[in-house]
Amino acid sequence: MCFTYVFICSGYLPPEYIEKNVLSNKLDIFSLGVVMLNIITGPRGRSRSAEMSSQEFTDLVLGNWTIRLQATWNGSSLEAYRQQVKTCTEIALKCVEIDRHKRPNILDIVNKINETETMTGKVINIVTGMFFFKKINLVLSSS
């Protein structure tokens, strides 16, 4: 039972812990990166990220998400969501760096995510406002 638990969870543990039992606050950052990659790319995303450069992987993920997002969004809102996916992918990849000293701290991660949320919110408010304004014009012009 214990072996199965360790086996299942070992994908979330950083190499320094698996190899040398080194505990640090960067252990949680590594685990966060694995969770983010699983959400963004699916369960095989992390292993695929190891097969190519960070830029190639980010471009691949962004391409896949663009296809999904185009079904729902267009214009500036599509670009805002694409940027959000790109930023989250880049953060996740930094979190799973082999060298724990290269991993970001949680404050940097939160700030970066907040920046993308702010940008996305502004774009959606602009797009929603434009849609609302067009609706008012249509109602006024048909009166």
Residue 108 is part of a domain; what is its CATH number? 1.10.510.10
Residue 142 lies in a domain: no
Asked whether residue 124 is assigned to any structural domain, the reply reads yes
Write down the pTM of the prediction.
0.76
Query: Residue 62: inside a domain, yes or no?
Result: yes
Contacts of 65 (CB under 8 A, 6+ apart): 40, 81, 82, 85
Domain annotation covers residue 141: no
The helix (run of H) or strand (run of E) holding residue 127 is helix 106-142
Decide if 143 is inside a domain: no
pLDDT class of 131 with cuts at 50, 70, 90? very low
Average confidence (pLDDT) over 72-100: 91
The label of the residue with tokens 């450069």 reads 53
Domain count, the chain: 1
Note the pLDDT tens digit of each residue in 8-39: 466 888 988 888 888 998 999 999 999 999 99
Q: What is the pLDDT of residue 43?
A: 83
Structural domain of residue 78, as residue ranges?
Answer: 2-43+52-136
Of all residues in the chain, the percent with pLDDT exceeding 90 is 45
**Token pair listed for 53:** 């450069």
CA atoms lying within 13 Å on the CB side of residue 87: 19
- The CA angle 30-32-36, to the nearest 5 degrees, is 120
d(CA 39, CA 107): 21
